[in-house]
């Protein structure tokens, strides 16, 4: 009889064991808010990946527009600048592809609508009109690029993307300086008639 009662008590305790085990799960569930940290990290990662995507689009456009300049520019300085866009941005694009692959970021392969419109507009121009319009575009683009790269090189959360931005920034600053010089050189001869009304 005692053995039967003892066996019954053991059976009762064993059947209760899973209940005790289950009560430990709800106690660990409140720890889930800690998952909010990765959410913040995801936001930072999104900013870095957005930077990478934007740079990829702009870099592809710089190469395309550079090729256009090597074919259509009438000024030797503009032609030379166009070739530098092909070379430097082509190299940067390759580096960015490798970086993006390591971060599982799929880069765009074609020009977006905005850059296509710019290419098509420039393709219709020739001579001094092309030189001036192309260099104006290069000055504007590189001002934006230098600003974006400066921000990423200081505030980027992804160490690799941040380091790449910092490494590439001096080249872009050099591009901007050259673009401004070339724009000044072609601006005086290429746009003299259009500058007169602006002086009023």
pLDDT in tens, 99-134: 999 999 999 888 999 999 999 999 999 999 999 999
pLDDT at 22: 43
CB environment 105-143: b (16+ within 10 A), e (fewer): bebeeebeeebeebbeebeeeeebbbbbbbbbbbbebbe
The model's pLDDT over 141-199, given as tens digits with 9 standing for 90+, comes to 999 999 999 999 999 999 999 999 999 999 999 999 999 999 999 975 444 333 334 44
Q: Residue 158 burial (CB < 10 Å; 0-12/13-18/19+)?
A: buried
2, pLDDT greater than 90: no
CATH number of 47-191: 1.20.1260.10
Give residue 99's Cα distance to chain centre. 11
Domain ranges of the chain: 47-191
What whole-number distance in Å separates Cα of residue 33 and Cα of residue 54? 32
Inter-CA distances, 180 with 145, 159, 187, Å: 14, 32, 10
What whole-number distance in Å separates Cα of residue 85 and Cα of residue 29? 55
């Amino acid at each position: 009889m005692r053995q039967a009662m003892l066996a019954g008590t053991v059976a009762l305790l064993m059947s209760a064991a899973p209940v005790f085990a289950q009560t430990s799960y709800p106690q660990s569930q409140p720890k889930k808010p800690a998952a909010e940290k990765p959410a913040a990290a995801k936001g930072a990662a999104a900013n870095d990946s957005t930077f990478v995507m934007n740079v990829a689009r702009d870099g592809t456009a710089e190469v395309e527009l550079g090729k256009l300049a090597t074919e259509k520019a009438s000024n030797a300085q503009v032609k030379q600048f166009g070739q530098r866009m092909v070379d430097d941005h082509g190299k940067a694009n390759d580096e960015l592809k490798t970086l993006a692959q390591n971060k599982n970021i799929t880069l765009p392969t074609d020009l977006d609508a905005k850059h296509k419109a710019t290419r098509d507009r420039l393709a219709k121009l020739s001579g001094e009109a092309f030189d001036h319009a192309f260099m104006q575009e290069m000055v504007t683009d590189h001002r934006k690029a230098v600003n974006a790269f400066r921000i990423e090189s200081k505030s980027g959360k992804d160490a690799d993307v941040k380091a790449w931005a910092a490494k590439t920034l001096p080249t872009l600053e050099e591009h901007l300086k050259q673009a401004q010089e070339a724009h000044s050189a072609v601006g005086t001869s290429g746009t003299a008639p259009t500058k007169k009304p602006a002086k009023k």
